[in-house]
Amino acid sequence: MKVLVTSPYNEGGLKELNQHVGETVYRPWKDNGRAFNEDELIQLLKDSEADALITEHDHVTEKVIQSFPDLKFIGVCRGTPSNVSIKEASAHRIPVFYTPARNAQAVAELFVANVITFLRDTLFANEWLKAGKWDEGAHTSYLIFKGNELAGKKVGFVGFGAIGQLIASMIVSYPCEISYYDPYVKAEDFPLYQKQSLEEVFANNDIVSVHLPVTEETKGLISRELFSVMKPDALFVNTARAVVVDRNALLEVIEQKKIKGAILDVFDHEPPDELDYRLIRAKNVLATPHIAGATHEVEDHHVRIMNETLVNWLSKGIINERRIANRQILVNA
């Protein structure tokens, strides 16, 4: 078959696709400067005469799928295939593959880096030093920037999938006391950690970190009531999706300093709107522009996961299985 690849793909990955899947036509969205919209993607599929698609951020809408109802598969190099109309793909019996945990290492490392940076006031200390303010005595900085250690903190996770589990494995030896809320995870699977209710995670922990997908049940799940039970010196972290958090409630506890602060990588509007910038510019917020999963290695990870999945699927001829080698396939059989 011929595969249109619009996701970033390394040379080795493309070579492997050519060997095991079929001829590739490589048109990465990065060369376009943005994701391809539905009309652009339709034209690319038409021009390439592709039988299958591997994408990352492009808009694989109902219109795209209806225009190419005989696609052999759609591969999505993301943790969730949220840019694809799964309903329409299923209606045409087109398997949709994706790459769970491709960015787990990247997000986990940034969590550790940013939490320690926040607790130690590293950014403010750097700005203070560059501004030439170290002229008041040798011990001034020691007194001004005395921070806190991550060791000994109680850390609670809201959502305990691949990323939460990886972070927990990194920080448990600091040591940190780990708890989590996740109705889909069994307590016996993680005997070293404590499974708690959502309210308990917010009330009992020094650091609360959100790792939720966007679903109807998670939208707005992190509410004013949950923020109200947090410790006054607690830290809130969201590297998942902004829509799972009540933004007004978060802004309230940040501006009124009802909690120690927040570390945020995602926002209701990207680029941010005025309300987002109020959060971003707050002194007790460490904000980054949705880069938790932005490493060069992430692209290598998604290539490896996608290729392993496709090769496995093709070699075994499996179409109706829900799981293949611990990778996900979405299809209505």
Residue 301 known to be catalytic: no
How would you label 307-319 residue by residue, b for 16+ Cβ within 10 Å and e otherwise?
bbbbbebeeeeee
Residue 203 host element (H or E): helix 198-204
Can you tell me the distance from the alpha carbon of 183 to that of 9, in angstroms, rounded to the nearest whole number? Answer: 35
Which one from 225, 270, 281, 297 is the annotated catalytic residue? 270
Residue 136, classified by CB atoms within 10 Å of its CB into exposed (0-12), middle (13-18) or buried (19+), is exposed
Residue 295 near residue 269, CB atoms below 8 Å:
no
Long-range CB pairs of 177-180 (<8 Å, 24+ gap) are 177/153, 179/154, 179/155, 179/204, 179/205, 180/156
Residue 101 near residue 162, CB atoms below 8 Å:
yes
Which one from 78, 102, 211, 241 is the annotated catalytic residue? 241
Residue 224 known to be catalytic: no
The helix, strand and coil proportions of the chain, stated in percent and rounded to the nearest 5, come to 40, 15, 45
Residue 217, classified by CB atoms within 10 Å of its CB into exposed (0-12), middle (13-18) or buried (19+), is exposed
Residue 27 known to be catalytic: no
Residue 95 near residue 157, CB atoms below 8 Å:
no
Cα within 13 Å of Cα(281), Cβ side: 7
DSSP letter, residue 214: -
Which one from 290, 304, 308, 321 is the annotated catalytic residue? 290
Q: Annotated catalytic sites, by residue?
A: 241, 270, 290
